[in-house]
Amino acid sequence: MSVTTVESETRDEAEALREQILALAERYHALTHAVPPFVPGQMPVQVSGKVMSAADMRNLVDASLDMWLTAGRFSDRFEKAFAAVCGLKHALLVNSGSSANLLAVSALTSPDLKDRRLTSGDEVITVAAGFPTTVNPILQNGAVPVFIDVDIPTYNADVSLLEQAVSSRTRAVIFAHTLGNPFDLAAVRAFCDRHGLWLIEDCCDALGARYDGRKVGTFGDIATYSFYPAHHITTGEGGAVATNSGPLKRVLESLRDWGRDCWCPPGKDNTCRRRFSTQKGQLPSGYDHKYIYSHVGYNLKATDLQAAVGLSQLDRLDEFIDARRTNFAALRQGLTDLEDILILPQATANADPSWFGFPIAVRREAPLTRYQLVTGLDQRLIGTRLLFGGNLLRQPAYAGVAHRVVGSLERSDFVMEQVFWIGVFPGLDRSRIDYVIESLHTLCGR
């Protein structure tokens, strides 16, 4: 028997065994991960969580059998599929949404951007009532955040404050689409165009949302996404940064991959065809391109196992978004009669949100406090979260940081003192949503 024949038979046996393993993985999922019927008051109503299928387990096991533990075939497929879903040309998989934001802001400091680059002391406009990792990259890159207030009940940037916020040092704007509700992209995009500013859209909570019929993420120069288990799709830990710009994609890729100048994938040599024919900086001619660094970068890549799960999750994205919208609508309808006590959320004009959560504000004149309401819900095993950091300038981490404030930030303080949110994720069926509605009525004395 020839060596070729032996190798062929071995491959056939391995493929057959692989298929058996994958089928068993799907069966295992069915036996061990079924969701039991809801029992009110005895089972938790989570504020967020992953919704996993047999296909997710199959892909995860499939990737693990490759033993290729860094980025590989699944990563390539995921990046292409995710870019298409977002309506953008380029998407890069990273290890978290926070890393995506770090890359997005860091990319604006690249020397490749010449006179448009962000330098130390330049300003970036953002909101005070946000998530820390939308703001932290501004500080980490030596820039100065300029904080503006939010609108209630959309919880997005008050765009009427933008012209007051701009200065000769302003270089960029970074806003998140809060809880999946798009900010006023028409006003913000026009403002950025008028002043020649970069726009970063933090879409970590808003995958699938639209503004004026267009997907969020397609209005800015760079968009960021998170795949943490709470988000619209999950890879466990993970995120993505996306753009339509080829030059920005190259900078983002360099920063993600140690800052190197080469774009060859891990484990592959000379796909750039420049490995030993490049001269940059003060390096000798022919220095190995794999070890030439054009940016001060990081290693923020994700693994092929994460990408494999992301691919199967992406197949269910529309289903997940529909479920979130259905749950949001049920809560909005079921709580309408409590609007004298609670401020219920409102979509931004001209927007079609992809809801991440259902924000609720307890009116200052209400007969109970936010503390009483969230602790009452907690006793009923109903999960809640505050609206991230509230007014971030009240947080200990930001005491003494260089910044500028426009206005009083009184609504950011209101968010800090009166607002919380409850879940709408696809793992919540109608029985759980009805229990939340009933509990809120009881706690509000209705």
Q: Say whether 219 sits in a helix, a strand or coil.
A: coil
CB atoms within 10 A of CB 223: 30
Cα(131)–Cα(389) distance, rounded to whole angstroms?
Answer: 6
Q: How far apart are CA 440 and CA 445, in angstroms?
A: 9
Distance separating alpha carbons of residues 124 and 118, to the nearest angstrom: 9
The strand pairing partners of 226, in sequence order, are 239
Say which residue the tokens 């069926």 belong to.
Answer: 429
Tokens of 246: 């080829």
- Quickly tell me which residue has 């040309």 as its tokens: 89
Q: How big is the chain, counted in residues?
A: 446
State how far Cα 19 lies from the chain centre.
34
E strand or H helix that includes residue 146: strand 144-148
CA 36 to chain centre: 29
Using left for φ > 0, alpha for ψ between -120 and 50, and beta otherwise, residue 24 falls in alpha
Q: For residue 293, what are the β-bridge partners? A: 260
**3-class secondary structure, 251:** helix
What are the structure tokens assigned to 396, written together? 């200990």
* 90, 244 contact by CB (below 8 A): yes
Q: Looking at residue 236, what DSSP letter applies?
A: S
Alpha-carbon dihedral 248, 250, 251, 257, rounded to 10 degrees: 140
The Cα 257–Cα 289 span in angstroms is 13
Q: What residues contact 27, with CB distance under 8 A and at least 6 apart?
A: 54
Question: Six-digit token pair at 359?
Answer: 């924000």
Tokens at 211, concatenated? 């503004």
Residues 129, 415: Cα–Cα separation, whole Å: 7
* Two structure tokens written together for 225: 């996404």
Is the separation of the CB atoms in 342 and 362 below 8 Å? yes
Catalytic residues: 231
Q: How far is CA 309 from CA 33, 235, 238, in A?
A: 16, 6, 11
Q: Which two tokens stand for residue 427?
A: 């793992």
